[in-house]
């Protein structure tokens, strides 16, 4: 009886240790900073930003953009008064050469042969008269509108 109880406790300790290590690994992964990999030139009022390790939740994506928008505007010479939108893309497996099946998004303003990424949008930011009006998540089904009071409210498409 005592041996069986001892084995059960050892097994539970192994599972607990595995769970703690998994939580620590997830925490370290989640704390990595967002890295801006590429920013496109202005194209008909539209800019693309390719990032690595974007936040996971809708709120944290919006919070990251709102916190960093001024530094992005300054560093990449983005004038919001000329913007109709910004799309933030996942760098995914990185830039690759153009493929024949057309399932990649390619940046025409890049000179390199590896100028395409997988079509994985993290966030769309829509502007009207230089002001952010709406955030759209990957699917386009979930939107967050900026109210006249400056609050961000969820609206389903």
Going by the DSSP 8-state scheme, the letter that residue 55 receives in this structure is -
Measured CA to CA, the distance from residue 123 to residue 135 in angstroms comes to: 7
Provide the 3-class DSSP secondary structure of residue 110.
coil
In percent, the amount of the chain with pLDDT more than 90 equals 29
Say if residue 19 is in the same domain as residue 48: no
Task: Indicate the pTM of the whole model.
Answer: 0.80
Q: How many domains does the chain have?
A: 2
Q: Tens digits of per-residue pLDDT, 96-133?
A: 887 666 788 888 888 888 888 988 899 999 998 888 88
CB atoms within 10 A of CB 34: 16
Identify the domain containing residue 76 by its residue range. 35-156
Average pLDDT over residues 57-84: 91
Do 76 and 123 lie in a common domain?
yes
Q: Are residues 27 and 46 in the same domain?
A: no
- Judged by average pLDDT, the poorest of 22-26, 35-39, 91-95, 151-155 is 22-26
* 62 and 111 fall within a common domain: yes
In a shared domain, residues 58 and 3:
no
Residues 78, 13, single domain; the answer is no
Alpha-carbon gap, residue 105 to 99, rounded angstroms: 10
Q: Are residues 148 and 118 both part of a single domain?
A: yes
Domain shared by 50 and 3, yes or no: no
In angstroms, rounded to a whole number, what is the distance separating the alpha carbons of residues 30 and 134? 26
What is the sign, positive or negative, of the torsion defined by CA atoms of 75, 78, 80, 81?
positive
């Amino acid at each position: 009886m005592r041996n069986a109880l001892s084995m059960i406790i050892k097994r539970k300790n192994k599972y607990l240790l595995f769970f703690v290590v998994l939580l620590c690994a997830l925490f370290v992964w989640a704390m990595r900073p967002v890295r801006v990999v590429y920013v496109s030139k202005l194209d008909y009022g539209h800019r693309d930003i390719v990032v690595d390790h974007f936040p996971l939740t809708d709120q944290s994506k919006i919070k990251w953009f709102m916190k960093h928008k001024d530094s992005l505007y300054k560093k990449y010479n983005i004038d919001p008064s000329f913007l109709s939108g910004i799309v933030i893309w996942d760098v995914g497996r990185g830039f690759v050469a153009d493929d024949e099946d057309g399932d990649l998004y390619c940046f025409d303003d890049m000179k390199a042969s590896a100028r395409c990424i997988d079509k994985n949008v993290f966030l769309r930011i829509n502007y009207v008269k230089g002001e952010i009006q709406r955030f759209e998540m990957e699917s386009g089904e979930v939107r967050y509108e900026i109210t006249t009071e400056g609050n961000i409210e969820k609206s389903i498409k």
